[in-house]
Amino acid sequence: MSLLEVRNVTLKFGGVVAVNDVSFEVEEGEVFALVGPNGAGKSTLFNLISRFYDPVEGEIVFNGENLLKHPPHDIAKLGIARTFQNIELFEQATVLQNLLVGRNRFRKSNLFSELLFLPSVRQAEIENRRAVEDVIDFLDLHAYREKYIAGLPYGVRKVVEMGRALAIQPKLLLLDEPASGLSVEETQDVAFWVEDIKKQMGITVLMVEHDMHLVASVSDRVMALADGKKLALGTPQEVQNHPAVIEAYIGT
Ligand code: ADP
Ligand code: MG
């Protein structure tokens, strides 16, 4: 059984078929990349998997569960975390606070148990802190932990955005263009992190990325899309050399 199965999924925005009968499977433990020109439907696929949108056709199965039966707020609990192409952090909060926000979804408590500060609440707090500290260590964010997002350089925000998703300790991490706008050195860091997320943390990664060098260096498999349709799926090399892919890129 694959960790994620996307089967014949279609989504339309008015007359635009943003995702057109797309199927693919992501295996547990792999890094799987989605590539394709702007408007190919990559972010829309992420939005479908994270339940922002309902497909008009098709099925999405995660970890054996029909994902379409679940509301968006269940996604993190099921084990899926994502980053956004346009960073979505709380600007007027610190790095630490932003990393803790995602963890709050794991609170099993209600207001009553919080008021009483029951042991279960204390235990959850300890676990949240530990998960966040692990992320701060992993991404080397110590220097920024008490800094407000609003004052941070773009490259650091991009790292915090990844950290916010990692703090959820997902089974599947969706990264939407993790290297866009980053320098060569920063992109190299992203490559190392993605490798470690897979190898050390055992998290499966589904990534949208334009930097083909990064894609080829970290991905086990790649799917190319154009105009909402699947063009090719295979190893990075197979996909890069696929005639339909070459044509789609030259045509843009
Ligand atoms: P990619 O991430 O591959 O660049 P998107 O998934 O963002 O592409 O977009 C796929 C297509 O769907 C594009 O034609 C885009 O204009 C359209 N689209 C995406 N989101 C919306 C939306 N919320 N409303 C209307 N059209 C949209
Ligand atoms: Mg996009």
For the record, the structure tokens of 137 come out as 């260590």
Distance CA 67, CA 49 (A): 8
The minimum-distance atom of ligand 1 relative to the CA of 36 is 3
Distance CA 176, CA 46 (A): 8
What's the whole-model pTM score? Answer: 0.92
Reply yes or no on whether the pLDDT at 106 is more than 90: no
The mean predicted confidence, pLDDT, of the chain is 93
Sign of CA dihedral 150, 152, 154, 160: negative
- In tens, the pLDDT along 28-50 reads 999 999 999 999 999 999 999 99
First-residue to last-residue Cα distance in the chain? 37
Tell me which amino acid residue 132 is.
V
Contact 158, 175 (CB under 8 A): no
- Which residues fall within 8 angstroms of residue 167, CB to CB, at 6 or more apart? 99, 100, 102, 103, 131, 132, 135
Residue 43 alpha carbon to ligand 1 centre in Å: 7
- In tens, the pLDDT along 67-85 reads 999 999 899 999 999 999 8
Q: Using alpha carbons, select from 23, 86, 20, 75 the residue that is nearest to residue 50.
A: 75
Please tell me which residue, 119 or 28, carries the higher pLDDT value: 28
Tell me which amino acid residue 72 is.
P
Residue 174 alpha carbon to ligand 2 centre in Å: 12
Q: Which residues line ligand 1 (CB under 6 A)?
A: 13, 16, 18, 36, 38-44
**CATH 3.20.20.150 describes domain 2-79+170-249:** no
Task: Return phi, psi of residue 141, to 5°.
Answer: -100, 15
Reply yes or no on whether the pLDDT at 191 is more than 70: yes
Domain boundaries, the chain: 2-79+170-249
